[in-house]
Amino acid sequence: MPGKPLLEKGALMRRLINDEYFLVHLNTANESLLIPDYLKENGTVTLKLSRLFRGGIDLKESHIETSLLFNNEYADCLIPFEAIWGITSCKGENTIWPEDTPKEILKNLLSKGEDDKPPSQPKAGKPSRPKLKRVK
């Protein structure tokens, strides 16, 4: 029986499969991941998945089977849920599983979060104008 994170990933994808598409962010170090070799050169890769694609998509209990188009050729892909560290809906909603995220990516994500924090003390002098922040 799959663990809780795997069940969460499966449930989320079963919900998103009815949308136009969703993105899966993959840890390419996973040995069971079957994608074209040149995509495994980076520590992570993002794939766009959709039930509308000609290659089809089959959500299993613990993995995804699909055929995706890369450089005008279809390649059979097997994506174990363990390799998925994040999912983005077509509406831009992100879900990540930190325990499955490559350390470099997690460090990057955390540092971006630090950039969004306001300074701890206001600067002296001229008052600053309010800034708008994009909310997803």
pTM for this predicted structure: 0.76
Judge whether 58 and 65 are in contact, CB under 8 Å.
Answer: yes
Query: Which two structure tokens, joined as six digits, stand for 73?
Result: 């050729």
Q: Is 70 part of a structural domain of the chain?
A: yes
Task: Report the candidate in 24, 15, 78, 13 with the shortest Cα–Cα distance to residue 47.
Answer: 24
> Is residue 127 in some structural domain?
no
Least confident of 18-27, 37-46, 63-72, 119-128: 119-128
Residue 61 banded pLDDT, cuts 50, 70, 90 = very high
**21 pLDDT higher than 70:** yes
Tell me, what CATH number does 90's domain have?
2.30.30.220
What confidence tens digit (pLDDT) does each residue in 99-117 have? Answer: 888 888 888 777 776 555 5
Average pLDDT, the chain: 84
- The parent domain of residue 33 ranges over 4-100
28 within domain boundaries: yes
pLDDT of 95 higher than 60: yes
Q: Is 126 left (phi over 0), alpha (psi -120 to 50) or beta?
A: beta
Q: How many domains does the chain have?
A: 1
Asked whether residue 40 is domain-assigned, the answer is yes
**Best CA proximity match to 80, nearest among 4, 10, 8:** 10
Residue 125 has pLDDT above 60, yes or no: no
Q: Cα 78 from chain centroid?
A: 16
